[in-house]
Amino acid sequence: MPETILLVDDTPANLSVLAECLSDAGYALLVAEDGEDALALTARNAPDLILLDVMMPGIDGFATCRRLKERAETRDIPVIFMTALTDTAEKLKAFEAGAVDYITKPIQHEEALARVNTHLTIRRLRHELEQQLALKERFMRVASHDLRNPLCLILMSGELAKRKGASPEVTEYLESIHDSAKQMQRIVDTFLNLRRSGAQTASDRCDLNLLAAAVVAQQEPAAEIKHTMLSLELAEVMPPVRADAGHAYQALTNYVSNALKFTPRGGRVTVRTREAGARARVEVADSGPGVPAAERAALFTEFARLSPRPTGGEESHGVGLSIVKQLVESQGGAVGADFPAEGGAVFWFELPIGGV
């Protein structure tokens, strides 16, 4: 279906010539001879773009454009002014009224067509982006809901098993399952909250040494399964950082989990803490394959599909690092990755030192 352009001009000769040019280019056309007609026409049949004359009887083009932008149903329609005015102040007035561009009379058809094509392309791309974002949001809501149900079942089943009197060894495993399920539940809740609030979170004092030790203890069973040495190298003195402890814990958990996932059996993963000027840094170094230089720019983007694959058949959905980025940057921090010449990778994040 061809895109529709509304031509608004009180000079029939101008309308006729421009209409022929746009029609030949494959566009459907609507025509109005003044601002009132244009407003009435757009209320019944919203076009994809409007070419609007400035000097018209009744309400002029500036007033017409302002009224179009006041209405929700026509607010997003791109307006290009057609004007014989060359004064800079008049051009600025066009943009202040809500126009996206202007064409100076006498109109050059090639220029007009180029500007029309450009702004319709921008409009199409914006619509496609909005649809993709809406689809992604729906997917995230559904996925989060579908994750919550089995997590609740895991938690309830674990509680029932403990009440029936398990051996100390089995009880320890059940506690580990319970802690991991609760952590996953917090991740789902945090992810949804970040989506709703635009990643704005409250800050508090957080001890990164204690947090790193807790994450390593929680990830130790996964390291044992892959025969990976998971170790800590903590700064002797580490001032508290200004961050939400739950979000910092989740960010580091994602880093360590990723490192274990991509490090071959028998490898090493080391969690380090240190001061970095006005910030405190946490590093997760691994002996894995690293990331090809050509792919590193995509590391912290959502759903990034990189060539390194998990070494133990684990699943990888490409969202873990993007979540780290959202969590850390929402606290005023920064994320990054380094790739030593001897191999492996060092993923890090920094948070501002200080309390609130």
Mean pLDDT by 10 residues, the chain (356 residues): 90 83 92 92 93 90 93 92 83 88 87 92 86 72 65 75 76 79 70 53 76 88 88 93 87 91 92 94 94 86 67 60 88 93 94 77
Q: What is the pLDDT of residue 294?
A: 84
Please tell me whether residue 306 adopts helix, strand or coil conformation: coil
Q: What is the pLDDT of residue 280?
A: 96
For residue 169, what is the enclosing H or E element?
helix 168-197
Beta-carbon contacts of residue 248 (< 8 Å; ≥ 6 apart): 206, 208, 211, 241, 327, 328, 331, 351
Q: What is the pLDDT of residue 199?
A: 45
Q: What is the pLDDT of residue 200?
A: 46
Q: What is the pLDDT of residue 39?
A: 94
Cis, peptide link before residue 352, omega less than 30° from 0:
no
pTM of the model: 0.50
Q: What is the pLDDT of residue 310?
A: 65
β-pairing verdict for 268-276 and 229-233: parallel
Beta-carbon contacts of residue 61 (< 8 Å; ≥ 6 apart): 8, 35, 52, 53, 54, 55, 81, 83, 94, 97
Beta-carbon contacts of residue 78 (< 8 Å; ≥ 6 apart): 49, 50, 100, 101, 119, 120, 122, 123
Q: What is the pLDDT of residue 356?
A: 45
Give CA–CA dist 40/291, Å, rounded.
Answer: 58
Give CA–CA dist 192/254, Å, rounded.
Answer: 17
Within 82-167, where are the H helices?
A: 88-97, 109-163
